[in-house]
Every structure is written in C-alpha cells, then in structure tokens.
Amino acid sequence: MKKASEPKQITLKGVYRDTLTDAGGRCLRQWDWRSNTIVDAAWPLVAGLLKNEPDLSGLLFWAVGSGDPAWDDNPVTADVATIGLADEIRREPIVAEEIVFLDAEGAPSDTPTNCIEASAAFTWQDDQVLREFGLFGGNATAEAGSGYLINYVVHPRVDLAAGARLFRRMRFTLKPEPAASPPEQSPPHWLGNEPIRFVDGIGRAYAQTLANANIATIADLAALEPVAFGDTLPLMRVVELRAKARLALRTAGEIAPQAGLNPLNLREILVTPGNTLIADTGATASQVNRIKEQAGALQLTLDNRYIQQLTVGQLTGAA
C-alpha cells in the first residue's frame, strides 16, 4: 500500500557570510554563516513574479546602512514588517554573473536547484560604520529605499577603514519541511466569501472549470489541493491562483482600521504620493508605508477593477 506523505510547508530561508580584507587584499576577518530575516515585503514580489508582471525582477540591488548608533548598546532584531533600511548609505547592483545556483554540496550548478547564492563587494575610500543590510528586487533602482525589500539583517557594528573591502555572500533556499502542527487558522475575512472571478487571472473559462469542482469563492480557492484537478488545469497555474487567494486573504486580514485612510480605495492609496497621504489623512509615515505595501499586495492578487471599489474601511469593517 502506498503511504500518504506527511503535510509539507514551503519555507524560504537565508544565510549570509562576510569577509573583510584590508586595502592590500589581506583577510582581516571572516565571519561564520549567519541567518537573516525574510521580510513580508518579499511575498508580494513572489506573487508578482508568478504573475509575470513585466516591470518586476528578482534580485537587483544589495544595500547597506549605518543603522542607529543606539543599537550598539541596545541590540535589536530584524522585524519582518521592515520595508527599508533605517539609514541606507549605499547600494550595489547585483549582476547576473553574481547569482548562481548551488547543488546539495554547495557547489555551483549549471541547472536550476532550490538554492541560489548572490554576492557583492563594497569598498570605501573613507572610514565607514555598518550595522544593517538588505537585498532589494522587483522595481528597485539605484535610488535608496526603492524596490521590494526581500531580506533584512541587523548585525553587530562593523568598522571599516579607508580602502577596506567587504565581500558578502547570501544564500536563499526554498525548502519543503514537515508541518509540525496544523497551521493556526486566521479569523475568516469577508473577502473569502467573494466570487473567485475577483482573483487576478481567473477568466470565464477558469471560473467555470473551478466552479465545476465546487470552487466558487476566494476562500474555496485558498483551500484547494492543486493535484485534485489532474490534467484539467495546468498544475503550476492552479498553484499560482491558490497563492494569490491566500496572499489576498492574509493581507486583507492584516489591514488595521485607520480613521483618515478608511474612506480611500486601494487605487487611491497606490497612486497618491506618501507625503500627500500623510498630510491629508493624519496617518504616520509608517502607517502609510504599511498600507501602501498591503494595497500593492492586493493589486497583484485581485482584479484591478475590483480593487478600485475596495476601501480601507470596507476591508477592516470600519466603513
């Protein structure tokens, strides 16, 4: 008898390693591999890449920052809600040649694997202090703070002398792991009762095929098992649609009521400059940054015409 496999969950993990050399190339220090934090902003980027958004790309820039001097005496940990560095001072482009697949032994692979490594080197002409870094993708440019932050690291202070060279390597691994226990269920959001046609990418044909399998709502789509469709629908297409439904429900459930922002629809949130939203609504910069990130995630997962109808107040029940 064929034994059923245990439930799996997909995790994205990252580790990094630093090597510091002096102006003459002599190794001053090499740190051990250390873990980093994959932030929430990475997942809307993953959804956009699955959707084949034309203006989005993967790893583009490696940014470093001096952080906050107060961290030296009162260390902090990276927050998954972070969307940018505290004090970004420089970023370096990550070119294609600096991103490689790694096999199970950690050696470069000519074929795709579930692990990639990116590297970058930083050299300064003046003394420099570093306390943080992150990798940016999506629509990132050379402008500080632009793009989607993928991972974030707050590390102990590193003092760099003029001419010193810091070489960094980052490894990302996608790995299925046994689910230790059934995932905690979030309180149901009313968005889950909406028809599946409001999920981006579902036209009449897909909606009918899904309806024939009793998949009628966004919540139904979020809970389905893709393999149940056999050859009726492309497996990866079903996985993509399910990921969109899950991200939409999770994001909608995380949006908090904010009096000044409640009347605005998601389209207005996205197209209105952040400074204008702060001035017009009384929201803080962090609140505006967060709601823009959440609205962006919903734009990638829901039909564009539908998000023009959704207000922050409706999504939070404050309308």
For the stretch 52-111, pLDDT in tens is 998 999 999 999 999 999 999 888 888 888 999 999 999 999 988 899 999 888 889 999
- Letter for the amino acid at 217? T
CA 313 vs. chain centroid, Å, equals 25
What is the per-residue pLDDT across 123-164, written as a single tens digit (0 to 9) for each?
Answer: 888 899 999 999 999 999 999 999 999 999 999 898 888 888
Q: Choose between 213 and 186: higher pLDDT.
A: 213
Rounded to 5°, the CA angle 64-67-68 comes to 170
Asked if residues 67 and 127 have their Cβ atoms less than 8 Å apart, the reply is no
Query: So what's the pLDDT on residue 56?
Result: 92
Asked if residues 90 and 122 have their Cβ atoms less than 8 Å apart, the reply is yes
**Can you tell me the mean pLDDT for 7-22?**
79
pLDDT-based confidence at 10, cuts 50/70/90?
Answer: low
Contacts of 138 (CB under 8 A, 6+ apart): 45, 48, 56, 57, 60, 147, 148
CB neighbours of residue 8 within 10 Å: 11
Per-state percent for the chain, helix, strand, coil, to nearest 5: 30, 30, 40
Query: So what's the pLDDT on residue 229?
Result: 65
Q: Which CATH class is domain 190-254?
A: mainly alpha
What is the per-residue pLDDT across 284-317, written as a single tens digit (0 to 9) for each?
Answer: 888 888 899 999 999 999 998 998 999 999 998 8
Query: So what's the pLDDT on residue 111?
Result: 92
Asked if residues 131 and 71 have their Cβ atoms less than 8 Å apart, the reply is yes
What is the per-residue pLDDT across 228-265, written as a single tens digit (0 to 9) for each?
Answer: 666 677 888 888 899 999 999 999 988 888 888 999 99
Cα–Cα distance between 202 and 222 in angstroms, integer?
14
pLDDT-based confidence at 176, cuts 50/70/90?
Answer: low
Query: So what's the pLDDT on residue 32?
Result: 85
Instruction: Calculate what percentage of the chain has a pLDDT beyond 90.
Output: 42
pLDDT-based confidence at 184, cuts 50/70/90?
Answer: very low
Query: So what's the pLDDT on residue 62?
Result: 94
pLDDT-based confidence at 183, cuts 50/70/90?
Answer: very low
Cα–Cα distance between 115 and 101 in angstroms, integer?
6
Cα–Cα distance between 269 and 278 in angstroms, integer?
11
CB neighbours of residue 117 within 10 Å: 19
Distances (CA, A) of 37 to 44, 104, 152, 157, 165: 16, 22, 5, 18, 24
Ordered strands of the 88-93 beta sheet: 37-38, 148-160, 128-138, 57-65, 88-93
Coil, strand, or helix at residue 222? helix
Q: Which CATH class is domain 13-178?
A: mainly beta
Letter string b/e over residues 278-290, b meaning 16 or more CB atoms within 10 A of that residue's CB: beebebeeebbbb
Query: So what's the pLDDT on residue 230?
Result: 63
Residue 222 phi/psi, 5-degree rounding, is: -65, -25
CA atoms within 13 A on the CB side of 314: 12
Q: Residue 36 pLDDT more than 80?
A: yes
Q: Residue 213 pLDDT more than 90?
A: no
pLDDT-based confidence at 182, cuts 50/70/90?
Answer: very low
- Letter for the amino acid at 111? T
**Can you tell me the mean pLDDT for 178-182?**
48
Q: Residue 185 pLDDT more than 50?
A: no
CB neighbours of residue 317 within 10 Å: 9
Query: So what's the pLDDT on residue 319?
Result: 60
Please list the residue range(s) of the chain that carry CATH number 1.10.150.20.
Answer: 190-254
Please list the residue range(s) of the chain that carry CATH number 2.70.160.
Answer: 13-178
**Strand pairing category for 148-160 and 37-38:** antiparallel
Q: Please give the full DSSP string across 99-162, using - where no structure is assigned.
A: EEEE-TTS-EESS--SEEEEEEEEE-SS-EEEEEEEEEEET--SSTT-SEEEEEEEEEEEEE-T
